[in-house]
Amino acid sequence: MKQIEISEVGPRDGLQSIASIMATEDKKRWIASMAAAGIREIEVGSFVPAKVLPQLADTAEIVRYARTIPGLTVAVLVPNLRGAQDALKAGAHKLTIPLSVSETHSLKNLRRTHEQVMEEVRGIRELLNQLPENERPSFEGSLSTCFGCTLEGPVSEEAVLRLGESLLKAGCDEVGLSDTTGYANPAQVRRLIRLIWENLGRDALNGIHLHNTRGQGLANVLAAVDEGITTVDSSMGGIGGCPFAPGASGNIVTEDLVFLLEAMGYSTGVDMSKLMEARKILAAALPDEPLYGFIPDAGLPKGFQYAGSESPVLA
Amino acid sequence: MKQIEISEVGPRDGLQSIASIMATEDKKRWIASMAAAGIREIEVGSFVPAKVLPQLADTAEIVRYARTIPGLTVAVLVPNLRGAQDALKAGAHKLTIPLSVSETHSLKNLRRTHEQVMEEVRGIRELLNQLPENERPSFEGSLSTCFGCTLEGPVSEEAVLRLGESLLKAGCDEVGLSDTTGYANPAQVRRLIRLIWENLGRDALNGIHLHNTRGQGLANVLAAVDEGITTVDSSMGGIGGCPFAPGASGNIVTEDLVFLLEAMGYSTGVDMSKLMEARKILAAALPDEPLYGFIPDAGLPKGFQYAGSESPVLA
């Protein structure tokens, strides 16, 4: 049975995009409940200055806490070397640095040119290499706006490939594809995955981050897992998006993604009823934020079976 | 360039599921505006007794009107021979009779056993055969609940095949797959399409009717068009569903479907800005009903091009 990793990005991509600031203790409870539901990777925060994203000011504490949860991969976003230093200090298992393929978006989002981001990547690689190999976090370069940009419009696939290659050369272990703006369509998802794999090797790309801004999120997931992508980002309740891309909002809903994958026979390790308990914790912690998703309202189909299971959840 | 037909079912599946009754003149305006936006097939109503579905009591008049719109295929639902007689009188181009693969649902929805539905199919075929061949409407048997039933749970794929074969033998020109309950997943969509095509021939199945009850609608569409399905049902604003299947609601949103298909390079013939004009007419005619869809809020991506076009809609 094929496994797909769901990488929950709600505590980072979700919380950074909303006005409410979730209390640190609530974050811990929420993260623990998602891990208890079977989520094996959670992006718990971002090491950016607190004045830029006060919602994530407690990221170091959250990382330290999340590391105590057995079996959980604790991922964080780091915009630069400084962030990576903080991430290492806190003990993150996985660092992701975003590089916006649209340089206009890069300047607006990270206030850096492509070359400046590459410089940070090289610095982070040097830093990581100082650690013993078994203590080194994995390091991903996320190709954001790679399916199109709200500022520049269409993004050249050749540019995505070229920047992906540069990220690997500068020191990332792998790249990820990120539909920051919700522009992706399934044909494009397939083309980009194939382009990267054919040119940079199969190990160069394992994960994809898709938004549901135009309702295409799960169709794009299908295209990606059909191709062989093994890690899919999503956000509980669909909270979040990218606050710097005007009009872009709405992550893929974790609850609906679990159903898609399990119903198709991909094991995610997630238990839906425990996931609903985690959603209650999220709802209580963010009483002013709308939560999205179809499965929470519609429920699982009668007779639904998890991938590989032979007994129905609901008789 | 591959073409996909969007069969708009809002005036039937949508209007039958909501409490509001749309005025006949509003229906005409709405249907005309969708045809003007490029929709080439519209299911305009259902020939059921007015006391069962008062929302559709004006179907005969709507059919007569819709026939005057050049190039439009006017489709209707007919539950039985009596409905088919009315449909022929009014001049419908396409008749669809639903057969629920779940017999429990069939009894509840149509108050008929499978054999009783087959009897109606045979009667309708006899009626159609009395017409000169060039005046004969096409006649589809829709395999509803074929992806699972809210009452019975899982539905056997063997039963779907067997009933599809029976429908063709009894006189349908083709069968359609219908996810009445919003249970379908993409793997199942692929399996059922292949099963039908391998056993009953490629001409036996062209269209699919999917719901978005669990948020999987467009992912299921992707699976279907990947396989080679050429007609996809959807509903403007996502209105509707099946009022007799508890908990089932929510058609695929036409607006989002057009984006999916055109962005992937499938031509639908639909112009999005004209479709938004039609949506305004719908919203004005049903002020108390919520309309769904992501594209109406998010808009088309910057630089979006229709399938086969070389100039962007939005620069």
Quote the ipTM score.
0.96
User: B218 CA to chain A: closest CA distance, Å?
Assistant: 6
What does the pLDDT read at residue B249?
Answer: 59
Q: Return the SS3 of B244.
A: coil
H-type helices in chain B, by residue range? 24-36, 59-66, 81-90, 103-109, 114-129, 157-170, 186-200, 217-227, 254-264, 272-285, 295-298
Closest CA to B143 of B91, B86, B188, B187: B188
Question: How far apart are alpha carbons B134 and A107 in whole angstroms?
Answer: 63
User: How much is the pLDDT for B264?
Assistant: 98
For the purposes of burial, counting CB atoms within 10 Å of the CB of B174, is it exposed (0-12), middle (13-18) or buried (19 or more)?
A: buried
Would the pLDDT of B244 be above 80?
no
Q: What is the DSSP string of B143-163?
A: EETTT-BTTTBS--HHHHHHH
Residue B280 amino acid letter: K
Chain B: closest CA distance from residue A199 (Å): 23
| B109 — pLDDT class (breaks 50, 70, 90) | confident
Tokens of A102: 């649209």
pLDDT at A142: 98
> Which of A34-43, B109-118, B166-175 is predicted least confidently?
B109-118
Determine, for residues B215 and A294 on separate chains, whether the beta-carbon distance falls below 8 Å.
yes
Show residues of chain B in contact with A188, CB under 8 Å.
Answer: 263
3-state class of A233 per DSSP?
A: strand
A221/B222 Cβ within 8 A:
no
| Distance separating alpha carbons of residues A9 and B282, to the nearest angstrom | 37
Count of structural domains, chain A:
1
* The pLDDT value given to residue B217: 96
3-class SS of residue B45: strand
Known active-site residue A149 = no
The residue of chain B nearest to residue A260, with distances taken between CA atoms, is B185
Domain assignment present for residue A271? The answer is no
Q: CA angle at residue A230 from A225 to A232, to 5 degrees?
A: 80
- Which tokens hold the place of B129? 């055969």
Mean pLDDT within A195-212: 97
pLDDT for the residue numbered B17: 87
Q: Is residue A243 part of a domain?
A: yes
Q: Is residue A119 part of a domain?
A: yes
Q: For chain B, what percentages of helix, strand and coil (3-state, to nearest 5) are there?
A: 45, 15, 40
Residues of A in contact with B298 (CB under 8 A): 182, 213-214, 247
Only one residue has tokens 């903080």, namely A86
At position A208, the amino acid (one-letter code) is I
**What pLDDT sits at residue A178?**
97
Task: Confirm if A155 and A145 have CB atoms less than 8 A apart.
Answer: yes
Q: Which residue pairs from A127-133 have beta carbons closer than 8 angstroms and sit at least 24 positions apart in sequence?
A: A127/A81, A127/A84, A127/A85, A127/A88, A128/A84, A128/A88, A128/A171, A131/A88
User: Which CATH number belongs to the domain containing residue A247 in this structure?
Assistant: 3.20.20.70
* Shortest distance, CA B186 to any CA of chain A (angstroms): 7
User: What is the C-alpha to C-alpha distance for residues B257 and A59, in angstroms, rounded to an integer?
Assistant: 39
**Which range (A41-45, A120-124, B239-243, B273-277) has the least confidence?**
B239-243
Is residue A98 domain-resident? yes
Mean pLDDT of chain A: 94
- Residue matched to tokens 């050049």: B70
User: What residues of A are in contact with residue B182 (Cβ under 8 Å)?
Assistant: 298
Would B31 be classed as within a structural domain?
Answer: yes
Helices and strands of chain B, counted as H and E runs: 11, 8
Chain B positions touching A154 (Cβ under 8 A) are: 302-303, 312
Each residue's pLDDT tens digit, A51-108: 999 999 999 999 999 999 999 999 999 999 999 999 999 999 999 999 999 999 999 8
Burial class (CB in 10 A: 0-12, 13-18, 19+), A202: exposed
Residues B203, B210: Cα–Cα separation, whole Å: 20
* Burial of residue B133 (number of CB atoms within 10 Å: 0-12, 13-18, 19+): exposed
> Encoding tokens for residue A45?
């925060």
CA distance B11 to A69: 53
Band the pLDDT of A249: cuts 50, 70, 90: low
Percent of chain A with pLDDT over 90: 88
Q: pLDDT per residue over A113-145, tens digit each?
A: 999 999 999 999 999 999 999 999 999 999 999
Task: From A56, A132, A48, A141, select the one nearest A95 (Cα to Cα).
Answer: A141
- Tell me if A89 is assigned to some domain: yes
Task: Say if A16 falls within a structural domain.
Answer: no
Residue from A40, A42, A35 nearest A15 by CA: A42
pLDDT-derived band at B250 (thresholds 50, 70, 90) equals confident
- Of the two residues B243 and B60, the one the predictor is more confident about is B60
pLDDT score for B165 = 98
Q: Is B48 helix (H, G, I), strand (E, B) or coil?
A: coil
Taking the C-alpha atoms of residue A253 and residue A234, their distance in angstroms, rounded to an integer, is: 6
* Residue B259 to residue A183, Cβ atoms within 8 A: no
Domain span holding position A107: 45-252
Confidence of residue A18 (pLDDT cuts 50, 70, 90): confident
Q: Is the pLDDT of residue B163 over 60?
A: yes
Chain A residue set in contact with B, beta carbons under 8 Å: 148-154, 181-183, 185-188, 212-216, 218-219, 221-223, 247, 250, 253, 256, 259-260, 263-265, 293-295, 298-299, 301-303, 312, 315
For residue B261, tell me if it sits in a domain: yes
A140 within 8 A of A95, measured Cβ to Cβ: yes
Answer with the residue of higher pLDDT: B239 or B43.
B43
CA end-to-end distance (rounded Å), chain A:
24
Region B46-69: mean pLDDT is 96
What is d(CA B103, CA B283) in angstroms, rounded to the nearest whole number? 36
